[in-house]
Structure formats: C-alpha cells, structure tokens
Structure 1
Amino acid sequence: MIQRILAILIVVVFITGCSTTRSVPKDDRLYTGSDIIWKGKKPKDYAALEEVMDGKIRPKTNRKFLGMPVKLWLYNLGNEPKGKGLNYLLRKKWGEAPVLLSQVKPGYTGAVLQHYVEDNGYFQSLVESKVINKGKKKASLKYTITPNHRYTIKFVEFDVDSSALGMAIREVSDKSVLKKDENYSLDRITQERERIHAELKERGYYYFVPENVLVEVDSTHKGQVALYVKVKETTPQLALMPYSLSRVIIYPGYTLEKDRRLQNAPTIDFGHYRVADPDKIFVPRVLDRIVYLKEDSVYQLSSHDITVQRLMDMGTFKFVKGQFTRSLDTSKLWAEFFCTPLPQYGIQLELSGNSKSNNYVGSQVKLTSINRNWLRRANRLEVKLSAGFDWQVGGKRADQVNTSGYTVDGEVAISFPRFILPFIKLNPRTRYVPRTRISAGYELLSRPDLYNLNSFTIQYGYLWRRTVFLDHVLNPVAISYIKPSKITADFQEILEDDPTLAQSIEKQFILGANYTVNYNTQMTGKPHTVLLTGNIDISGNIIGLFKKEEGDGIKYFMNDPFSQYVRVFADARYYMRASRRIIWANRIFAGYGYSYGNSNSLPFVKQFFIGGSNSVRAFRARTLGPGTYQSQVSTYTANEAGDIKFEMNSEARIKIFNILQGAVFFDAGNIWLQRENSEKPGAKFRFGHMFPELAVGTGIGLRLDASILILRFDLAMPLRKPWLPEGERWVIKDIRFGDPAWRKENLILNIAIGYPF
C-alpha cells in the first residue's frame, strides 16, 4: 500500500513539475488569459454584462482539468512527431498546443467589447488594452473599460401610418418591451421587432418579417434616447397585406417517391381541412383534433405552429414539412403539410437505471414491441417485457441472506391521441397532443430465500403537457391486486412477530387514483438544469364510503381487504455543468404516507425503502432504518420499510476519457414509521430529530459510458450510523482501510446500469 502511494505521489510531482512554456517559441509568450477592469460604479446588471463580455474575448486559454492544464503538459512531454508513435499521440491526440500571445488581437477584441457596451447604452465608452508580462515566458491581457454615462429611454413613439398594417401595430403597442426610463439595449430592440412580427403573423401578415421593422434612435435628449418604431419604406407589398387560407391539405403518407402521385390524388373534405391519403394509412377523422389551421380563416402563426408540432407529437411521423403558396387571388394562401410516416411496427431495447420512489430496483432491461398506428387511428399499442435487479457486494454478514432483489414484469398499454371523457369533448389549445392511456400489467418482485410478491395492475389515465418542460399524468382509475407467494418458513416466523409487516404484505386490493407532475429542463443543455417531480397516490377513499365493515372490523372488496391510504412524495434534482468535463448532480427526496381505516400501514409495494445502488449507497438495500431502530432480524432479512422518507444525494461526475467517467459522491437519508411500534423502538418519525437520525455515506465511482448504456461501479462506506447511541453515530474515527474485518463490514460495491439520479 505504501509503495503504491509513493508511486502516485511521484507521478503527481512529475506531472506538476512539467513546464507549461517548454514549447513556447523564443520571441513569444504563453497567453494565460484576460481580465476586464470596469472603471467607476458597476451597474446592477454588471454580472450579466461581464458574463457576455468574458464570452466575447478571444482566443481562449489552454483548457484545464481540475484547474491544471493537463493537455498542455502532455503536449510539452512530447517532441515534434516524425511518424506514428508516442510523440504523435502526445502532440496530435492527447495534448494541446500552447495558446500564444502572438495569437491575441487586443485591438479587435477591444472593439468587440466596445460595441457590446455601446449596445447596452454606453454610447461614450472607451476600451483600452494592455499586455501584462508574467515572468519570462507568460503574459496576460487587461482590458480597461471606461463606460461613462449610460443612456436611458425618454419615450417610444410608434410612427406608423393609418393603413391596416399600421393600425395593427398601434393596437398592440401597449405590449411593447421598450419601456420609458429603462436602459437602452440593442437586444431589447431586437425583441421588440420579433414581438411585432409575431403579433402581425397572428393577424394574417404571413410575409412580414422582423427585418421590416425599423427602430430609429435619437440620442440628442441630454443623456436619454427617443425611439421611433417604423415600418421600412422598402418593405415588399406582399408583406403589407393580411392573408386567409383557401386550402389546408394534409398528406399523411408522403415520401419523395410518391410526391407527384400524392399531389394529384383526390382529397377528402372535412370542412376546415382536407386529407389526401390514397393508401388509406389513417382513418381520415383522426386528424380532427390535430389540425388548427382552417380554410377560409385568417392565417395565424400560433395555429400554424400548433398544427406542425401536433403532427410531430402524434408519434407516427418521421418528418413534417409545411409549404405555403399564394393562390391566384393574392390575398389567399394554399397550405400543404407533407408528413413522412415512421414504420408502423418497431422494437425497442432499453438498458437503464431505474430509481422508483420506493427505491426497490436498481437497474432494468426492457424490451418493447410497438404498433404506432393501431387500427389506423394513430393509437399506440405497446407490449412490454422487462427485468430489473439491485446488486451490491460487501457490507454483508456471514449469516445474511441475499439482499439483492429482482423484478420481472409485463404490460400491455394502448395510448389514444386525444382525451376520452364521458359527455364532454376536451381538446386544449396547446402544441402537444393530449393522450388517454389504458394499461394492464403484471409484476413479480422476488426476494431470494424469503418470498415472491405478485402484483396485477389496471390503469386508466390521461397524459398532457402545457409546455416542453411541464407534463402531467392523471390516473383516475388505478387498481392493483397484490398476492404474496413462496413465503419461506423463516420469513413466516418474522411475519408472525411483526403484525405491521404482515399486513403490508398480505393479499389485498389497491383501489384508487394517482397524479404526477414533472418539470424538466435537462433537454435545454444549459449549465443549470432541474428535474422536479411531485406525486399524490390515494386508495380506498371512495369505495370506503360505500362498503360496510365486516365482523372483524375490515371492509372487503371481492372477498379480499382493500388498502386505505394517502401517499405523497416530491423529488427535486439539480444539475450544474461546472465545465466541459465536470457535472455536479444533486437530489432531495421527501415522501410521506398516511394509512387509515382498513390499513395500519402502507401496502408493501407502496412503502418507502432506503439503501442500495440508487439511494444511500453506503448501506445495503432495505437494511437501514426505520429511524434509529436496528435488529438482528432486519439485518438478516434486509426487509425494513417505512411510511416516511427523506434523502439527500450529491455527486461530482468527472469525465476522465471518452468512455470512462469518475465520481465522488455523498449520500444521506433514512425512513421512519408514521405510528409508534413497540416492536421497533426509535422507528417513529419525530420532526425535531430527523436530521440527527440521518444515515450518511460517501464514496467514489467509475462509470463506463458505452453510448447505449452506462455501467456503474460505486464503492461506498458509511460515515454515520443512526442506530448507534447519540454522540457515537459518526464513525469517521473508526475507518480502518487496512483492517479486513472493517472492509468486509463497511465497504460496499454497488453495480448498476445508468446513473443513480
């Protein structure tokens, strides 16, 4: 061990001792970056201004990893290559040539910075540059900005004529983004041109573009500007008149090979649109709720966008191309949408990490057969088969059974591209297709050497979204039938000693509804993104009003008891891209379940669990908690669950090479019971004691990113054990990496597919 540490230290000293200027030419210097100096008081929006100015400075310095120019070091370790070999790899593949001072153009960069501050109201600004030499071979740049006075807006005048176009612009002038006394901004002027363009497109001005709007700036008003919004005199006549639609035609089976035949094919008239589908790919009426452009109506940009987006969101088309042409009557447009269909049938194989709210299964393999146009109505028929597992190595007693669990499940689901509601027709005006989904499924949850749990589920629900970030899932009908099987004699003894566990795992119905809302900005690719999820799940509330208690005090449905509970959880995730190679990922999870009536606890499949490869990784799955409780039985069977859960996770994900990633992580959390349980002292939730009772763990990980899947290895160890007496729960002082017994008990290797969150 000591020899390895010494070897690592030698390598670190060798690398850090490499000169960053070894390959810098004799009469040049290594460029180390630029600083911006703002003379005078900084404005309130300086942080935003500075961020943009930093992004405009060129060239960029040599890239760094953890603050070190590793690529430059590698480049300097090599020599000019004479062929393939180590020098070629160091200079051409792994390394990065030094960024030189001679590559910097201070005059050009200074002019770029000056234009930017002028665009933000500093019309009399001055930018100066200066080279700062550092030692013999390094240099940086300093740009000093003297902003002087910042111009504000004195007034905004819409200087338009009395034509229909001019009147339309004047009518929406109250929505202007140019406001009196605000700072002058070229970006704001651009936004105003885009706003006017969008408003006019809603009124039929199809050929009008933002460039047709002119904003004249008069800066002779003692430190303020007057803005005059006009329509350019050179605007084409086509852009000055509104248009209505004479034809709206959809071609749902378009391909390049069929282009001419389709355009000459007869159409079916549905009143406000027409369909040309000679191959009868769809039942024609399927597009009724998709097409928002209407014949003999004024063209609207929003209706155009909704139509295109909904055609794509149906999930049956690969491409959608809209084409607008003028009819012989110059005030009429002919709208055509050419839709190239996806293959009707498909098969998907997914390998992923699967983190359920109860954290029961760590990774999952799923095979799905898809029919994208079932019954020719754009209905989506899916048949799914999947298997999941949760695998941990280490941290296990010699007498402990296998704590790893696996699931096998299947599902048949039909998704209709509309809301199916009794008595009413609902079609919200959004860019996304609302859906009705009906599903039936079976899931087997197996715990080797303990039991199997069979779950049969039927759901009827609705899926919709208002924006690209926000989506909703409401299942007003969610029925499950839970039936245990293959209960071993050892586990039966445990059930006899724990009535609460016995009730949670008994044969029962779950008759209720659930609602989930998601807000996800990850697809934006921005440096800061979030994924927020909220869920409420209820069972037995309505049927419980009509069913009477039997002699044993229990209400039954089809000769089996049904669960009564309310369960909610919130899951908040935040991701920050610190650099091209580092992502900081965080999660906070909080869940609460309240059982009543028929139930003393949540059903087993609805309870919260903790520990495992997607949770607090320093503790084996389902051996932690509830609260400060720990027993030899729970350690043996690994079957602890709770009604309440709180968990926090944070990890830094570091890209080492193309397919290899490293990670450093920190986890904390626990579960608790809603009610006091004399068999489990310390398990009841007490709000003021929540944080002192959290288990804490940390560790490092390696992830192999093979594009189609991410194989994850996370090695974790505990830092705090909540079952120990107060004052002794932190176990950092007890860490003994050299002790085999300590390693066997405390080091846990989590093996999974996909990220933990």
Structure 2
Amino acid sequence: MKLQLFKISITIVVFALISSCDAVKRVSESDYLLTDNTVVINDKKDNSETIANLISQKPNRKILGVPLRLHLYNTARPNIDSILQVKVYDNAKKMAWKTKVLSRKQLEKDIATRKGFNSWLKRTGEAPVIWEEEKTRKSVTRLQNYHINNGWFDVTASYTATPADDKRIKIQYEVNTGPAFIIDSITKKIESPLVELLYEATQKDALVKTGAQYRTVDFEQERNRISTELRNRGLFRFGQEHVSFEIDTIGTNKKVNVGVLISNQIITNPDTTITKPFKIFKVDKVNIYTDDTFATRDLPYQNTLTYNGYHLYSHGKMRYRPKAITDAVFIAPKTIFRDIDRTRSYRYLNELRTFKYPEIKYVAETDSSLIANVYLTPLKKFSLGFSAEVSQSNIQSVGLALNPSLQIRNIFRGAETFEISAITSVGASKDKNNIDDPFFDINEYGIDLRLRIPRLFSPFNTDKIIPKYMSPSTRISLSTTSQTNIGLDRQTFTGNFNYNWSPSNKITNNLDLFNVQYVRNLNVENYFRVYENSYNSLNTIAKEVNYIPSDADLGIPEETNIFLDYALNDPTPNEINSDQLSTLTSINERKNRLTENNLIFSTSFGLTRDVRTNLFDEDFSIFRFRLELAGNMLSNASKLLGLEKDENDRYEIFNVAFSQYVKTEFDYIKHWDLGKKNILAMRTYAGIAIPYGNSTNIPFSKSFFAGGANDNRAWTAYSLGPGSSESRNEFNEANFKLALGIEQRFNLFEDLNAAIFIDAGNIWNVLDDVEDDKATFTSLDALKDIAIGSGFGLRYDFSFFVFRFDIGFKTYDPSYTELNRWFRDYNFSNAVYNIGINYPF
C-alpha cells in the first residue's frame, strides 16, 4: 500500500511540474504562441491528414496533450554565453571561489558541459511556434486551391484568429465548398487520323469519364496514360506535351465540358517551324554490345554474330550464349516500337545480376524506322565474400563464426550465377556435458551451393504459360551442415529445385518443384540434458512412486530410459496412477519424436500479393498463401516397390521413416494510414499441417509455435500453448495455429515512435497422435483458449532499419482455469520484454 501511495505521489508531482511550465516563456509581448488550428468545412470539423497538410503553420506537437518538447526547449537559456560571462567570469568573488575549489582546466570543462547541456535542450526541444499571419493567409489560399482542383469551383475560404490575454492564439479556418462540378461531356479534337484511331482503341481505359467529379489529378494521369498507350503502339516521337484539355464551365449549371486535344508533332528548324502527323515506327535492327565499356566503345568489334535477327558484338571472345542475352531483351527486330519493351528489358537485364548499368538507346534510321542499341557492361566473373561474427547466447558464453563465399557469374555462358558459401563456427558452452572437453566445445561446419538460372530450367517450352516478361527464374540449391555438442548434435542435408515468377508488379509466385530435407540426430542420449523440464517431470514421478530415493536423481541416459520402459510397460505398474501415466506417455512420445531422424520430400506453391507502391507506402495490404505436400511420391514408390513397413506401420527409405503431410498457410497484413504519422496495422494468420499415410505427426521443423517478438508478444517464443495445457516444455509446438495482431503506431517526436498493441492466438494439435484434450482442437469451443496479450512499445527509425522495444502483458491466459484467466499476470514482473528489428508485421 505504501508503494502504491508513493507511485501516485510521484505521478502527481511530475504532472504538477509539467503543468506549471510556462509555455509562453520565450514568447515576446508582441507575439502570440499558436496553440490550435481548426478547419471547418461546410460547418463540419475536418481532422483528415490531407487537409491538415495544407496548413502552413502548425502548433507545437503534444504528447498526451502536453507540449513536452516546447517545455524542454524553454528550460534552455537563450543567451547562455552572456549569462556565464556575467555570473562567472565577470564576478570576481565567484571566480575566486570556483578557481579555489576547481582548477582552471576543470572550471572550463564544467562550463563547457553546461553549454553542451543547454545546446542539447535546444536541439531536443522544439522552439515555440509564433503565429505568422502571412502563413495563415497562405493556408487559406492552399485550402481554396485544393478544393478547386477537386471540383469545387465556387469554394470560399477565410480564417478567424482568436487571441487570448496570455499570449496564446487559436486559428479557425472556415471553408464553404458549394456544389461539386461534374463532368458532363467529353469531346475530342485530334489533328492526325492515325492518332485518333489509336486513341479510340484505348478510350475504354480512360481515367476522365462522364458523370465523375472533376479532379485535376485525373487529367494529369489521363495525359500520362494517353502518352504511354500511344508510345506503346508505335508513336516513337509522341510525348505528354502533345496532349491538352479544354475545360468549359460557363453557363453549364455546375457541369464541366471537356475537350481532349491531341496535336501533331512540332519540328523546329533553324529557320522554320513545321507540324507533321505522327507515324508508327518499327524497330528495324537490334544491336547488342555484350562487353561495352567507355574505354572500348570506339574500338572495332572482333566478334559479331546474328541470332534470331539480333546482332551481337564483342571486342573479345563472345562470353555468352546468344539465346541467354536475346531472351533478356524484349525489343525484337522487325516489330512495332513499344516503349514498354525498353522498360521490361532494363528490368530483366538487371535481374540477371551479370551486367552493371545496362543502357538502351534508339536511333532513328528513317522517319519511320529505328535501330535499338543495347550496351551491356559485364560485372567481374568472380566475386569473393567474407564475414565474421562474434556472438553470445543462453547456450554459449562466446562463439566465433566465419562465412567465406565465392560467386561465379555466367558460369555456363547463359548468365547463370553460381555461389558457394561455407560456414565454420566454434563456441564455448555455458554448461559443459563433459568437463574434459576443450574450451571451444561447440562446433558447426557446413557448405551451401546455390545456382540461379534466369529462366525456367525445363525440358518443355514454358514461354506460352509463363512469358519472359514475368521474369521467370530457377534456383537450385544443395547444402549440408554438421553440429556437435549443441543439443542432440545433428547432421542435415537439404536440396531444393525452385521456380519463381511475377505475373505482375504486385504478385509473385514461388514453386518448389521438390524440396528434400534429411536430419540425422547423432547424440540422442543427450535428450534429457537438453530438455531439462521433461527430465525434471520424469525425475519427480520416479521419486513419487519410490522408484528412486527422494535424495537421488535418475542418471542420464541409462536410468531415464529404463524407468520409461518400466513405467510404460503393459500392464502399467500399480504404483503409477493415471495422471502420472499420462505425463510419462507425453514425455516418451515427445522424446521419440524429437530424437528420430527425419526425411522430408515435399512440393510446395506460394503466392504473395503486395500492393505497396514503394517502401514509404503506409496504406497497403499483403496477402500470402502457401500449400505444401510432402511424402506422396515416396509413398507411391514404396507401394510400387513393395517395401515392407516397420513396427510402427511406416515405410522407410534408407532406414528412415519419411514424413507425409499436407500443410497450408494464410497470412494477411493490412495497414491504414490515419494521417499525422498515425498507422493502424493488422495481421491475421492461419496455418494447419495434417499428417496422413506414413505419418501420425508433423516434423518439428514443420510445426507451428506461438509467442515471441513477431507473434504474441506477451509470451516468449515457444512458451504459449498448445491450447489450455500447462506445458512446461522448453519448446511447445503443434500443427494448427491461429493468430491475430492489431497495432496502433504513432509518432512521439522526430524519429521516435510508439505503439500500443493487442495480440491474440494459440496453437493446437489436430488430426494427429496427441490425445490431450487441453492441447487439441476438437470443436469451436477450443476458441475460448485463444490467448490475448496487450502492451506498448517504442520504435526508433534509423531509416535503413527500425529498432523496436515492446512490453507485452498476459491479458487472457488460457493455461489458468476458465474463471481466472483475465488479467491474472497483468503486471511488470510477469511481462515479456521484446527487442526486435523492424516492425512485427
């Protein structure tokens, strides 16, 4: 109680200090501090970001209604040098006393510190916003122009300034729009019959339409659309300057009559200026210079060849197969000029990662034919990389890692990129299992091979299904790693054959034709040393049933395995009750699952739809879908070959039971830009993996977990669920997951932002071999076990990344009884502190 009273007292004192700060302390008698802007449009207050951005002068920013940065600025001395000169240097008594206590050097250092702190207060704070009438008039003009540009031609705008006796002033802007003007008729006046014909072919996609409200931006976009469409239909010399609009509103009763004007091209000579109708240009010839540099551009080319009408040139030996280069160039000889072909060529050539700064130039050969010159400057064939890392974790006291890599470009003369990288790391474990081990008793080493082919590598012609403008590519990778003295010790092997293509700039498709993963555990005897919670539960039951004395512990691994065999024998020993048997069965099933070797042979398809226009777009959505099928091919092969099953009724390949399952995931992210750096972000996620055939459960690497900095932030990773079970496992996972996150982000000042959030979700077992009712999803009633966390956080934007700190509180914890789940652990002592890079979603 005393602690609570102390906290309340401190809060009251701090609030009183802030309230007592004089916001107009640095405002002169003839000036006013701008404290509020209000915009009223048609007698209704408007707080939208669009309108707020039109106001030239805004009040000092506030946090929780208090202009903290203004108060911080006001605590700084405006003329610190003069004050120090009078109070210290010109005061003989004070100077004598200070130089007696401090040396001259210490005194100067102290004064420099005070100056520096004063400067920091000014930089961190915010100077008072002094009202300027000129800026207010400018805001009125901007409000008028905005509404005129959006169809309210009869708009009127004014402002009212309300000064107070305490040197503060409030501004209210009043806007009356009148009725909006609507586009009534659209006529065209096109000087060239050819251009008129091409224009009519694109008119169905026009952005300026009858019945729509007049908006200036629509006309700007329509001008750009017409120019783009006509240039993609062969009009090489056409530009936006040839398109204009006539707007008629006189005597139209709030209607707008629009005239579309498209002029002929204007040719200016030294003596005359003439107009000529536009002509459709054809690309007569395409020249590709495969090893162009500024130094060699004027030198003769030693090698030339023609492939499918393309002319390829090189100063030395031709490094590339012609098809690999011509496939990347969308400009085809003997075809009509299209501006989009150059754009696509640039994108595809850049995606080859073989050339730097490709350049494409058109040269007019006649008044209707072009020559396209493509200049390519190759990157170096070999590229070396090297990185080193020093780390520390809850497993190791210190770790060292080295990652050398070698990249080979154009390895098969088809613009392919091959990369080989290695990993070598050593570390010192915090808890040595063997005291005789050397200091660096943890090690990992591996190799990763990756080949990227800039097309679909297939025996079939896929151009009609996936055209090259979709930037198709093939990725083939092989990797293997070996870890020792980390957990169970393991060797892994993975192989992947992947297709990737983008039907549009918003959609990306990804197809793993096959993905092979093999995991071999080398030190299964170490299981109960790694999973200490399981061991503690096992050890406790052994003492409860008097299998071992109360002052003894089960030895690892012999005694733990013997006790499990004894306890799970049929019939069950009399001293073991049903609850204990259930716990022991769960421990044994989990042990067998996590120590068995895994073989996964899968095929998957993923789709991503991202409507972001750029990295700074804060009003967008992202949808991701993934479907994975594993084990079907191996299952069919096992049946055809008549392979025998093991004691668990499973087929084995190389003495390993392969996994068979279907897994699907849905992920949807939506951001709403509420203005003034205020963002509402939401994420919904659902995933399920169903074992069948050769499997009764999902491999650990393919299962779902809950909690963590990017999930439910009130729980640490792997600590939540499954369901309402009170699991004490180090890593809780299951094969079904639901998640929902909502986050409100807002700016505090400068690059420091804050957020409040609510996270909900959980994991369950479904349609697998887990029988615990608390951990399984058997009906919609299981939704009552969705955990809810809430909290707040700070984020600092470094431009190239965001540093994030979040505090999550357990708001609704399903591990407690149903009558005691809300706010049971809603306090700082049970909170989870998360540190992350970039936003959680």
Normalising by structure 1, report the TM-score: 0.83
CA separation in 2, counterparts of 1:655 and 1:342?
43
Match of 1:330, as an amino acid?
D
Contact map agreement 1:77 1:90 (CA 8 A) in 2 = no
Which residue, 175, 180, 190 being the options, matches 2:210? 180
Secondary structure of the 1:216 match is strand
Alpha-carbon spacing, 1:470–1:349, altered in 2? closer, same or farther (3 Å): farther
Contact map agreement 2:804 2:835 (CA 8 A) in 1 = yes
Structure 2 runs not aligned, ≥5 long: 82-111, 268-274, 392-400, 431-441, 529-556, 566-584
Matches within 5 A, 1:507-586: 507-521=597-611, 523-548=614-639, 550=644, 552=646, 553-575=649-671, 585-586=681-682
Does 2:328 correspond to 1:290?
A: yes
Can you list the C-alpha shifts for 1:17-42, whole angstroms capped at 9, x where unaligned?
32332222322212235333223799
Can you list the C-alpha shifts for 1:40-67, whole angstroms capped at 9, x where unaligned?
799xxx99xx654432221343344455
Does 2:270 correspond to 1:232?
A: no
CA shift, 1:618, in A, is 3.8
Match of 2:603, as an amino acid?
A
Matches within 5 A, 1:444-523: 451-488=488-525, 491=528, 497-498=585-586, 500-501=589-590, 502-503=592-593, 505-521=595-611, 523=614
Matches within 5 A, 1:200-215: 200-215=230-245
Aligned match of 1:142: 172
Q: Which stretch of structure 1 is more off in the superposition, 407-416 or 458-467?
A: 407-416
Match of 1:544, as an amino acid?
S
Does 2:362 correspond to 1:324?
A: yes
Aligned match of 2:574: none
Alpha-carbon spacing, 1:40–1:14, altered in 2? closer, same or farther (3 Å): closer
CA shift, 1:293, in A, is 0.7
Match of 1:301, as an amino acid?
D
Aligned match of 1:399: none
Aligned match of 1:170: 200
Does 2:17 correspond to 1:14?
A: yes
Contact map agreement 1:518 1:531 (CA 8 A) in 2 = yes
CA shift, 1:620, in A, is 4.4
Secondary structure of the 2:145 match is helix
Aligned match of 2:820: 728
Q: Alignment identity in percent?
A: 25
Contact map agreement 1:33 1:140 (CA 8 A) in 2 = yes
Contact map agreement 1:39 1:146 (CA 8 A) in 2 = yes
Contact map agreement 1:352 1:753 (CA 8 A) in 2 = no
Contact map agreement 2:696 2:769 (CA 8 A) in 1 = no
Number of residue equivalences: 713
Aligned match of 2:690: 594
CA shift, 1:86, in A, is 4.3
Aligned match of 1:422: 459
CA separation in 1, counterparts of 2:593 and 2:470?
43
Aligned match of 2:160: 130
CA separation in 2, counterparts of 1:755 and 1:407?
31
CA shift, 1:679, in A, is 5.8
Alpha-carbon spacing, 1:733–1:541, altered in 2? closer, same or farther (3 Å): closer
CA separation in 2, counterparts of 1:266 and 1:104?
69
CA separation in 1, counterparts of 2:146 and 2:404?
53
CA shift, 1:304, in A, is 1.6
CA shift, 1:525, in A, is 1.0
Match of 2:454, as an amino acid?
P
Which residue, 428, 437, 441 being the options, matches 2:475? 437
Does 2:181 correspond to 1:151?
A: yes
Aligned match of 1:78: 76
Q: Relative contact order (alpha carbons < 8 A, sep ≥ 6): 1 or 2 greater?
A: 1
Contact map agreement 1:668 1:696 (CA 8 A) in 2 = yes
CA separation in 2, counterparts of 1:96 and 1:110?
25
Can you list the C-alpha shifts for 1:615-667, whole angstroms capped at 9, x where unaligned?
33443443432222235xxx2x4243211112234456677788977665543
Which residue, 28, 31, 46 being the options, matches 1:28? 31
Which residue, 624, 635, 640 being the options, matches 2:732? 640
Aligned match of 1:398: none
CA shift, 1:672, in A, is 1.0
Alpha-carbon spacing, 1:579–1:351, altered in 2? closer, same or farther (3 Å): farther
RMSD between superposed Cα atoms in Å: 4.0
Secondary structure of the 1:547 match is helix
Q: Which stretch of structure 1 is more off in the superposition, 412-421 or 61-70?
A: 61-70
CA separation in 1, counterparts of 2:785 and 2:161?
57
CA shift, 1:94, in A, is 1.8
Secondary structure of the 1:682 match is helix
Aligned match of 1:397: none
Contact map agreement 1:81 1:87 (CA 8 A) in 2 = no
Which residue, 138, 147, 158 being the options, matches 1:108? 138
Secondary structure of the 1:28 match is coil
Can you list the C-alpha shifts for 1:112-137, whole angstroms capped at 9, x where unaligned?
32233222222232222332334532
Contact map agreement 1:347 1:368 (CA 8 A) in 2 = yes
Alpha-carbon spacing, 1:657–1:62, altered in 2? closer, same or farther (3 Å): closer
Q: Which stretch of structure 1 is more off in the superposition, 457-466 or 266-275?
A: 266-275
Contact map agreement 1:122 1:148 (CA 8 A) in 2 = yes
Does 2:221 correspond to 1:221?
A: no
Alpha-carbon spacing, 1:150–1:508, altered in 2? closer, same or farther (3 Å): closer
Which residue, 96, 117, 120 being the options, matches 2:126? 96
Normalising by structure 2, report the TM-score: 0.75
CA separation in 1, counterparts of 2:821 and 2:799?
41
CA separation in 2, counterparts of 1:754 and 1:488?
40
CA separation in 2, counterparts of 1:589 and 1:352?
35
CA shift, 1:260, in A, is 3.3
Contact map agreement 1:110 1:143 (CA 8 A) in 2 = yes
